[in-house]
Amino acid sequence: MATIDTAINATHLLFAGLWAGSVLFVARGLLPAARDGDIDAAPLRSLIGRFRTWSRVSSLALFLTGGHLAGTQYTAESLLGTSRGYLVVTMVVLWFVMTGLIEVGSGRLVDGLDERKVREPARAATPFLTAAAVAGVGLLVIGGVLL
| Residue 99: Cβ-neighbour burial (10 angstroms; 0-12, 13-18, 19+) | buried
Each residue's pLDDT, cut to its tens digit, for the chain (147 residues) gives 588 989 999 999 999 999 999 999 999 999 999 999 999 999 999 999 999 999 999 999 999 999 999 989 888 899 899 999 999 999 999 999 999 999 999 999 999 988 889 999 999 999 999 999 999 999 999 999 988
Q: Report how many domains make up the chain.
A: 1
96 is in which domain, residue-wise? 2-146
Q: What's this model's pTM, rounded to 2 decimal places?
A: 0.92
